[in-house]
């Protein structure tokens, strides 16, 4: 499965990266930064209404090259000015053509929370996310067992980072809940065959605990999709391709919201 390939390549990449900055040094650098104990990402999702997490993404395994011209900083600023509540920035280099530099440049320039969208397989990436200015990291249940997710959430808590714990089915939802996830993201994309089905979010919505925040991810394209997710009581939506392919991102975001944001 593609996810396993990405994880294997990430582990290889980390071997090289740790030669440049050791795990001890990365941890020390991250812990030296002030922890934001107010968890702005979670605070934002708790506000009434549906919240928009807008993704900065150049390419993906399912879609190939999405944006040949990729002014990532301009896109992030455009999202913020258009009323986005948070930004998701891909940092995975091989399959998504992401870069850590994109994340750092964006977090330096915007004041809304930024998610490091990567394939976390090592705590090193969490400490590094902190040093790059991220406010949120992605933990994918398909890649991590329950105990590891729990321990990574503890690291996030210590650093003042939020963890978006991603699930795709009932078993993974169970693991996220047992690990103590406060923010659960349901990926509508089946990573085995890349099919996308919004009803995956609506189906799993009722399985999430009352006090957990719920984000629907992937394949969101229309105001009707947003309305369905709103009706299901979703707190946030993560939108990538629809916005990335739109030449008028602010207008697209407004249209998805059924009017101005």
Ligand X SMILES: O=C(O)c1ccccc1NCC(=O)[C@H](O)[C@H](O)COP(=O)(O)O
- Backbone angle region of 83, left / alpha / beta, with phi > 0 → left and psi within -120 to 50 → alpha: left
Please tell me whether residue 91 binds ligand X under the rule CB under 6 A.
Answer: no
- Round to whole Å and give the CA distance between 4 and 2: 5
Binding to ligand X (CB under 6 A) within 33-62 occurs at 55, 57, 60-62
- Other C-beta atoms closer than 10 Å to the C-beta of 123 total 18
Under DSSP, the state recorded for 135 is S
Which of 57, 58, 100, 249 is the catalytic position? Answer: 57
* Residue 191 sits in the site that holds ligand X (CB under 6 A): yes
CA R_g for the chain: 17
- What are φ and ψ of residue 149, in 5° steps? -60, -45
| Token pair in block for residue 74 | 């301009």
182 binds ligand X (CB under 6 A): no
| Contact map string, positions 211 to 250, toward ligand X, x by CB under 6 A | ------xxxx-----------------xxxxx--------
Q: How far is the CB of 210 from ligand X (least distance, A)?
A: 24
Q: How far does Cα 43 stand from its chain's mean position?
A: 16
Q: Is 92 a catalytic residue?
A: no
Q: Nearer Cβ to ligand X, position 27 or 116?
A: 116
Q: For residue 65, which phi and psi values (nearest 5 degrees)?
A: -75, 125
Residue for token digits 């549906």?
50
DSSP 172-197: HHHHHHHTT-SEEEEE-B-TTT--B-
Interface with ligand X, residue 201, by CB under 6 A:
no
110 counts as binding ligand X under rule CB under 6 A: no
Residue nearest to ligand X (CB): 240
Decide: residue 105, CB within 10 A, 0-12 exposed, 13-18 middle, 19+ buried.
middle
Respond yes or no: is residue 37 known to be catalytic: no
Select which of 17, 80, 166, 172 is catalytic: 166
18 or 203: whose CB is closer to ligand X? 203
| Residue 117 annotated in active site | yes
SS3 at position 110: coil
Residue with tokens 């986005």: 84
**Annotated catalytic residue 187:** yes
| Least gap, CB of 32 to ligand X (angstroms) | 31
Residue 224 beta carbon to ligand X: minimum distance, rounded to whole angstroms: 15
- Smallest gap from Cβ 40 to ligand X, in A, equals 21
Would you call 68 a catalytic residue per the annotation? Answer: no
Q: Which residues of the shown chain bind ligand X in the complex (CB under 6 A)? A: 2-3, 55, 57, 60-62, 187, 189, 191, 217-220, 238-242
Residues with a known catalytic role: 55, 57, 117, 166, 187, 217-218
């Amino acid at each position: 499965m593609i996810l396993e390939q990405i994880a294997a390549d990430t582990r290889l990449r980390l071997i090289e990266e740790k030669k440049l900055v050791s795990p001890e040094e990365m941890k020390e650098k991250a812990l030296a930064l002030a922890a934001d104990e107010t968890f702005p990402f979670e605070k934002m999702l708790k506000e009434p209404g549906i919240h928009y997490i807008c993704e900065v993404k150049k390419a993906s395994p399912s879609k190939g090259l999405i944006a040949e011209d990729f002014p990532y900083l301009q896109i992030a600023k455009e999202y913020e000015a258009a009323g986005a509540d948070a930004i998701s920035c891909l940092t995975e280099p091989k399959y998504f053509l992401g870069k850590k530099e994109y994340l750092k440049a964006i977090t330096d320039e915007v004041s809304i929370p930024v998610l490091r969208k990567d394939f976390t397989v090592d705590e090193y990436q969490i400490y590094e996310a902190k040093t790059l200015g991220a406010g949120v990291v992605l933990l994918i249940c398909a890649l991590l067992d329950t105990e590891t997710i729990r321990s990574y959430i503890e690291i996030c808590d210590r650093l003042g980072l939020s963890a978006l714990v991603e699930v795709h089915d009932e078993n993974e939802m169970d693991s996220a809940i047992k690990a103590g996830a406060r923010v659960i993201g349901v990926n509508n994309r089946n990573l085995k065959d890349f099919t996308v089905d919004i009803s995956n979010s609506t189906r799993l919505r009722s399985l999430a605990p009352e006090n957990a925040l719920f984000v629907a991810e992937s394949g969101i394209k229309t105001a009707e999709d947003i309305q369905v997710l709103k009706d299901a009581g979703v707190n946030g939506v993560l939108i990538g391709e629809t916005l990335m392919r739109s030449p008028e991102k602010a207008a697209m975001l407004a249209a998805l919201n059924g009017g101005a944001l």
